[in-house]
Amino acid sequence: MTQANLLPQLLQSYAENPRITIRRGGEPLNDGKCVVYWMQRAQRGVDNPALDLAIALGNELKLPIIVYFSAISNFPHANLRHYVFLNQGLPDIEEDLAERNVTFIVRRPPDNQLEKLLLEVGAALLVGDENPCREPERWRQVLARRLHLPFLTVDADVVVPSKLFPKHQYALHIMKPRLYAELPKYLVRQPKTKAQHGWKRPVHFESFNVREDVTKGWKDFDRSVGPVDTFTGGTHAAQARLKEFVAHHLHAYATKRNHPEWDGTSRLSPYLHFGHISPITIALAAQKAVEEGKVTQEACDAYINELIGWREISVNFVKYVFNYDSLECAPDWAQKTLREHARDKRDPQYTLEEMEQAKTHDELWNAAQMQMVKYGWMHNYLRMYWAKKILEWSPNPARAFEYAVILNDKYELDGRDPNGYQGIAWAMAGVHDRPWFERPIFGTIRYMSGASTGKKFNSKRYIENVATDNWKGD
Q: What is the CATH number of the domain that holds 312?
A: 1.25.40.80
Least confident of 9-13, 171-175, 178-182: 9-13
Identify which has the larger pLDDT, 473 or 144. Answer: 144
Would 12 be classed as within a structural domain?
Answer: yes
Q: What is the pLDDT of residue 4?
A: 43
Region 225-243: mean pLDDT is 97
State the sign of the Cα–Cα–Cα–Cα dihedral 340, 345, 351, 357: negative
Alpha-carbon gap, residue 99 to 167, rounded angstroms: 39
Beta bridge partners of 20: 154
Tell me the per-residue pLDDT of 387-432, one tens digit each, with 9 for 90 and over.
999 999 999 999 999 999 999 999 999 999 999 999 999 999 999 9
Encoded amino acid at 291, one letter: E
Alpha-carbon gap, residue 435 to 378, rounded angstroms: 26
Cα–Cα distances in angstroms (integers) from residue 108 to residues 37, 79, 225, 232, 273, in the given order: 17, 16, 21, 22, 21
Percent above pLDDT 90 for the chain: 90
Would 214 be classed as within a structural domain?
Answer: no
Whether the predicted pLDDT of 376 surpasses 70: yes
Would 359 be classed as within a structural domain?
Answer: yes
Alpha-carbon gap, residue 8 to 61, rounded angstroms: 11
- Nearest 5 degrees, angle CA 191-CA 37-CA 113? 165
Q: What is the pLDDT of residue 212?
A: 98
Region 251-258: mean pLDDT is 90
Would 314 be classed as within a structural domain?
Answer: yes
Tell me the per-residue pLDDT of 66-91, one tens digit each, with 9 for 90 and over.
999 999 999 999 999 999 999 999 99
- Choosing from 156, 191, 214, the residue where a domain stops is 156
Least confident of 2-16, 231-245, 417-431: 2-16
Long-range contacts made by residues 398-406, C-beta under 8 angstroms, separation at least 24?
398/326, 398/327, 400/327, 400/428, 401/325, 401/326, 401/327, 401/428, 401/429, 402/326, 403/352, 403/355, 404/428, 405/325, 405/326, 406/352
Does 338 lie in the same domain as 297? no
pTM of the model: 0.96
Q: In what order do the strands lie in the sheet with 103-107?
A: 20-24, 151-154, 123-129, 34-38, 65-70, 103-107
Q: What is the pLDDT of residue 296?
A: 95
Percent above pLDDT 70 for the chain: 97
Find the domain containing 259 and state its range.
Answer: 235-320
Q: What is the pLDDT of residue 374?
A: 95
12 confidence band (pLDDT: 50, 70, 90): confident
Does 363 lie in the same domain as 284? no
Q: What's the chain's average pLDDT?
A: 95
Does 398 lie in the same domain as 305? no
- Choosing from 133, 156, 179, the residue where a domain stops is 156
Q: What is the pLDDT of residue 5?
A: 45
262 confidence band (pLDDT: 50, 70, 90): confident
Listed in sequence order, the residues at least 6 apart from 4 whose beta carbon sits closer than 8 Å to its beta carbon are: 12, 15, 16, 22, 25
Does 119 lie in the same domain as 244? no
Whether the predicted pLDDT of 10 surpasses 90: no
The single-letter DSSP state of residue 10 is G
Does 242 lie in the same domain as 149? no
Q: Phi, psi (5° rounding) for residue 120?
A: -65, -40
Domains of the chain: total: 3
Region 158-170: mean pLDDT is 97
Q: Phi, psi (5° rounding) for residue 175?
A: -75, -30
Region 39-59: mean pLDDT is 97
Whether the predicted pLDDT of 149 surpasses 60: yes
Region 329-349: mean pLDDT is 97
Structural contact between residues 227 and 276, judged by C-beta atoms closer than 8 angstroms: no
Would 200 be classed as within a structural domain?
Answer: no
Would 163 be classed as within a structural domain?
Answer: no
Does 150 lie in the same domain as 11? yes
CATH code of residue 394: 1.10.579.10
Alpha-carbon gap, residue 250 to 271, rounded angstroms: 18
Helix (H, G, I), strand (E, B) or coil at 126: strand
Q: What is the pLDDT of residue 1?
A: 42
To the nearest 10 degrees (0 to 180), the angle between helices 363-375 and 397-411 is 40
Would 219 be classed as within a structural domain?
Answer: no
Tell me the per-residue pLDDT of 282-305, one tens digit each, with 9 for 90 and over.
999 999 999 999 999 999 999 999
Cα–Cα distances in angstroms (integers) from residue 138 to residues 132, 145, 230, 322, in the given order: 9, 11, 33, 12
Does 457 lie in the same domain as 339? yes
Does 354 lie in the same domain as 263? no
